[in-house]
């Protein structure tokens, strides 16, 4: 065969430290590569030539890694976790660090970022979430060979914000309810006296009222009805007599199908009430009219009148129930049953429909002490 003049050259694999470091190998020591690490680099090069290996993007941004982490984690989270964790990661982690290559962030960089939140008065829950998900994202980066070390293991973030202990005294509860009638009187009364979470109350349906018990099995998440937050949250709670009378009066004045919302929005198409709108347009203005927790803002409206706000919110009402109910129940387990906010015992978890007599007695006693009574005009429904 005639010589074509072509010269076949054997391809050479030259293993250098620079080449190894590009593949995140040998970064944890100085000097020549070990034989084991050199072999690892060679294996990667051969795999790349054969089309079986794709080198990791060692300059991947935090946003890319965070979204990979979310894609892997969200299928194992409930709807509440998907909402809260997703919002936190998108707003605070991706929003603040997203454009930076994850490999460039040192422990000092991340700690300084966290310190900004601490110094700005971030809540304990926010800082806890930032630590949890930042560590998980960097752990994912370490697992996918984007970095050799995880710089988040020793991070610290302790909130300087004092947790609120605000609750309403009995006379404040009475003043607040005196500012409301009809639907709103009933809603706020159920929040105070039964300790319901607003996302549970506003997701309640007509057939959840079952005699002297209230079924809780749904909650609002991102504007949609979903399962309640935890297994302990799904329960039946006792309805004291006067609350039951007011609730039955509401059902009679507002007929509907069993699966209709218990409290429907009055504007637009039928649906549940918006939590934020209700807090800002009904609850807090009523508290301000009642002179409860009023705080001066130092600002004035267009007419020159001082603008004030109040420290009354949904958490304050739930804390009120925990304090007043607990003071009368004496038995912590009864309060635990009423509020459903701690891990219950096996008996409470499996036989939740069987409401203890102590819970009924405490509910009746709280109702007598609060002396809310029915609205002055029972026939009037807002």
- Domain extents in the chain: 19-49, 62-143, 170-370
Instruction: Lowest mean pLDDT of 86-100, 274-288, 294-308, 323-337, name the range.
Output: 323-337
Q: Tell me the mean pLDDT in the region 371-382.
A: 55
The pLDDT value recorded for residue 351 is 31
pLDDT for 32 equals 83
What pLDDT band is residue 377 in, cutting at 50, 70 and 90?
very low
CATH class label, 62-143? mainly alpha
Per-residue pLDDT at 378 exceeds 70:
no
Mean pLDDT over residues 182-205, rounded? 95
- pLDDT confidence of 346, banded at 50, 70, 90? very low
State the number of CA atoms in the 13 A half-sphere of 31 facing the CB.
3
CATH superfamily of the 170-370 domain: Intergrase catalytic core (1.10.443.10)
The answer to whether the CB of 318 falls within 8 A of the CB of 300 is: no
pLDDT at residue 379 greater than cutoff 60: no
**pLDDT at residue 344 above 50?**
no
Q: What is the DSSP string of 155-214?
A: ------SPPP-----HHHHHHHHHT--HHHHHHHHHHHHH---HHHHTT-BGGGEETTEE
Query: Does the reported pTM lie above 0.75?
Result: no
> Which DSSP symbol is given to 208?
G
pLDDT at 145: 80
pLDDT in tens, 215-261: 999 988 877 888 877 766 778 999 999 999 999 999 999 989 999 99
- Residue 265 has what pLDDT? 83
Q: Does pLDDT of 186 surpass 50? A: yes
Q: What is the mean pLDDT of residues 337-359?
A: 56
What is the pLDDT, as a whole number, of residue 24?
64
Mean pLDDT of 71-83: 87
Q: What is the pLDDT of residue 347?
A: 30
Q: What is the pLDDT of residue 328?
A: 85
E-assigned strand segments in the chain: 209-210, 213-216, 218-221, 224-227, 235-238, 294-300, 306-310
Confidence (pLDDT) at 163:
72
Across residues 145-154, what is the average pLDDT? 88
Give the pLDDT mean for 45-58: 63
pLDDT at 51 over 70: no
Output the pLDDT for position 353.
Answer: 42
| Model confidence band, residue 171 (pLDDT cutoffs 50, 70, 90) | very high
- Flag whether pLDDT at 15 surpasses 90: no
Residues β-bridged to residue 308: 296
Closest CA to 82 of 95, 72, 97: 72
> What gap in Å lies between CA 33 and CA 26, rounded to an integer?
7
pLDDT of residue 352: 34
* Average pLDDT of the residues of the chain: 83
């Amino acid at each position: 065969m005639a010589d074509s003049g072509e010269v076949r050259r054997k391809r050479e694999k030259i293993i250098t430290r620079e080449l190894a470091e590009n593949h995140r190998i040998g970064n944890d020591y100085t000097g020549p590569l070990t034989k084991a690490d050199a072999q690892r680099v060679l294996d990667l090069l051969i795999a790349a030539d054969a089309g079986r290996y794709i080198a990791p993007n060692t300059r991947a941004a935090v946003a890319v890694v965070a979204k990979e982490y979310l894609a892997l984690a969200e299928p194992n989270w409930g709807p509440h976790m998907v909402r809260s964790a997703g919002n936190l990661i998108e707003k605070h982690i991706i929003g603040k660090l997203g454009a930076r290559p994850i490999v460039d962030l040192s422990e000092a960089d991340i700690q300084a970022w966290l310190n900004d939140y601490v110094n700005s008065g971030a809540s304990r829950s926010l800082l806890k979430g930032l630590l949890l998900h930042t560590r998980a994202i960097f752990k994912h980066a370490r697992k996918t060979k984007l970095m050799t070390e995880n710089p988040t293991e020793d991070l610290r973030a302790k909130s300087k914000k004092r947790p609120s202990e605000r609750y309403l005294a009995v006379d404040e509860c009475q003043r607040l309810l005196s500012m409301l009638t009809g639907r709103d009187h009933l809603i706020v009364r159920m929040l105070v006296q039964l300790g319901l979470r607003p996302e549970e109350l506003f997701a309640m349906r007509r057939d959840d009222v079952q005699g002297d018990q209230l079924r809780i099995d749904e909650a609002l998440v991102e504007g949609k009805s979903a399962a309640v937050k935890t297994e302990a949250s799904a329960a039946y709670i006792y309805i004291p007599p006067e609350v039951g009378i007011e609730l039955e009066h509401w059902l009679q004045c507002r007929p509907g199908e069993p699966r209709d919302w218990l409290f429907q929005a009055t504007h637009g198409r039928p649906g549940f009430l918006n939590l934020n709108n209700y807090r800002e347009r009904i609850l807090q203005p009523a508290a301000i009219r009642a002179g409860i927790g009023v705080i001066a803002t130092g600002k004035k409206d267009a007419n020159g009148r001082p603008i004030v706000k109040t420290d009354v919110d949904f958490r304050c009402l739930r804390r009120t129930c925990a304090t007043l109910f607990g003071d009368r129940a004496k038995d912590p387990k009864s309060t635990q049953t009423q509020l459903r906010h701690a891990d219950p015992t096996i008996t409470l978890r499996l036989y939740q429909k069987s409401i203890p007599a102590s819970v009924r007695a405490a509910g009746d006693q709280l109702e007598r002490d609060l002396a809310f009574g029915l609205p002055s005009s029972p026939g009037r429904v807002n």
